[in-house]
């Protein structure tokens, strides 16, 4: 039998908002949940269908794919990968308990291992440090294991007792009377606040947290090619986890100086080099600033200007740009030549230029009419 349209399953239009989808799902799931319809195969099938529809429509990327391709774009099992897994009422409806004052799934699992929070730090680099990479020592202020109680949070080891109300689970089951009947939910244990343990005499240094703030020095290698706005993640250097969970990360935000002669755009570098009329005409060898990978500095290197170079011509030096920080090759260097016109010539210099013009067949009008005078004469 072909699948019904997911919007039809939830009784919605295709323009439904995320909140409307969530509310429709709650209403339909309440109606068809197996715990409220024991032995009703039809209700169980409807419940699977509702969950499958919600799994797709509640996630933007899946919803977009479904809107474009229908069921054909969701794989063989639709969006829910086979439907209801057969767990208890609280496994799927953790957020529904919130409507009736329940703790929900997140609070119920408070004593489960949790990953630590991420930390952020900003580092400013010189142009050269960003281009070539640099090794830096940084200092961060983060939570570490308390040096006095060694993380137990108690004055003595014997002061830590398992909570007798939840038996160390950190959560208790509560029966609630609701408009839909008696429902069972899971709440955080109010005696141990979800910790699963009770500390009789807290550590005087950390107040029972098991943690204290410490300044930590970290050596980091900043790779070549980072730029303004780059973020360098240092895994496991953030805040400690809870209940044995892993540490968070340290996110290093990069900013960098500009350079007086080189302009960087992603992995390419650009420069403008002034040359004279004679250099452009006859060619010349000039010094230009360029990245030197070996010395990790910007050096003056020789560059040959070809004979007959035109004003504003741009030369490309392949592979002379910045390393891609992800290891995908290097950028290029672009050199744009700017023609410098001589001023304040003496009479001898003027005479030489007139002779040059005669030889090349160029007309020289030293007292040309102004542009606007020419325009006026043209229209008259």
Binding site as annotated, residues for Zn(2+)? 146, 149, 163, 166, 189, 192, 203, 206
Q: How far apart are CA 202 and CA 212, in angstroms?
A: 13
Candidates 209, 185, 192; CA nearest to 108 is: 185
Is the Cβ–Cβ distance between 14 and 7 less than 8 Å? Answer: yes
Is the Cβ–Cβ distance between 146 and 205 less than 8 Å? Answer: yes
Is the Cβ–Cβ distance between 148 and 206 less than 8 Å? Answer: yes
Candidates 95, 3, 6; CA nearest to 56 is: 6
Residue 278, both tokens:
């004679």
DSSP letter string, 19-59: HHHHHHHHHHHHHH-TTTSTT-HHHHHHHHHHHHHHHHHTS
Q: Name, in order, each residue with C-beta under 8 angstroms of 291's C-beta and a sequence gap of 6 or more.
A: 131, 132, 262, 269, 298, 320, 321, 322, 333
Q: How far apart are CA 236 and CA 246, in angstroms?
A: 7
The H-assigned helical ranges of 137-269 are: none
Residue 304, both tokens:
């040959």
Give the three-class secondary structure for 187: strand
Question: Can you name the residues that pair with 273 across neighbouring β-strands?
Answer: 337
Question: Can you name the residues that pair with 284 across neighbouring β-strands?
Answer: 305
Candidates 213, 263, 202; CA nearest to 240 is: 213
Residue 53 Cα distances to 92, 169, 233, 372, 376, angstroms: 14, 34, 37, 73, 75
Q: Tell me the binding residues.
A: 146, 149, 163, 166, 189, 192, 203, 206
């Amino acid at each position: 039998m072909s699948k019904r349209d997911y919007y039809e399953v939830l009784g919605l239009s295709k323009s439904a908002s995320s909140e409307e989808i969530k509310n429709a799902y709650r209403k339909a799931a309440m109606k068809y949940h197996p715990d409220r319809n024991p032995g009703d195969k039809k209700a169980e099938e409807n419940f699977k269908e509702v969950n499958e529809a919600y799994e797709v429509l509640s996630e933007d990327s899946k919803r977009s794919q479904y809107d474009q391709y229908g069921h054909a774009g969701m794989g063989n099992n639709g969006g829910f990968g086979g439907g209801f897994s057969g767990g208890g009422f609280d496994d799927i409806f953790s957020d529904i308990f919130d409507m009736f004052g329940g703790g929900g799934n997140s609070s119920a699992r408070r004593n489960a291992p949790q990953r630590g929070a991420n930390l952020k730090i900003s580092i400013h680099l010189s142009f050269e440090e960003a281009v070539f990479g640099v090794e830096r020592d940084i200092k961060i202020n983060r939570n570490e294991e308390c040096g006095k109680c060694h993380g137990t949070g108690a004055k003595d080891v014997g002061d830590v007792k398992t909570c007798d109300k939840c038996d160390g689970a950190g959560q208790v089951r509560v029966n609630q009377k609701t408009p839909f009947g008696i429902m069972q939910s899971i709440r955080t244990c109010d005696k141990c606040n979800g910790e699963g343990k009770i500390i009789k005499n807290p550590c005087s240094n950390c107040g029972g947290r098991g943690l204290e703030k410490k300044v930590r020095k970290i050596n980091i290698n900043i790779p070549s090619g980072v730029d303004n706005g780059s973020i360098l993640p240092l895994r496991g250097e953030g805040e400690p986890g809870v209940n044995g969970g892993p540490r968070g990360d340290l996110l290093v935000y990069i900013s960098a100086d500009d350079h007086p002669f080189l302009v960087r755009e992603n992995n390419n570098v650009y420069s403008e080099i002034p040359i004279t009329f004679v250099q452009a005409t006859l060619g010349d060898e000039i010094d230009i600033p360029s990245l030197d990978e070996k010395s990790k500095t910007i050096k003056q290197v020789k560059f040959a200007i070809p004979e007959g170079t035109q004003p504003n011509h741009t030369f490309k030096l392949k592979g002379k740009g910045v390393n891609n920080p992800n290891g995908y090759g290097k950028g290029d260097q672009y050199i744009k030549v700017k023609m410098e016109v001589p001023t304040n010539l003496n009479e001898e210099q003027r005479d030489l230029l007139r002779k040059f013009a005669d030889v090349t067949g160029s007309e020289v009008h030293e007292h040309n009419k102004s542009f606007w005078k020419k325009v006026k004469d043209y229209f008259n």
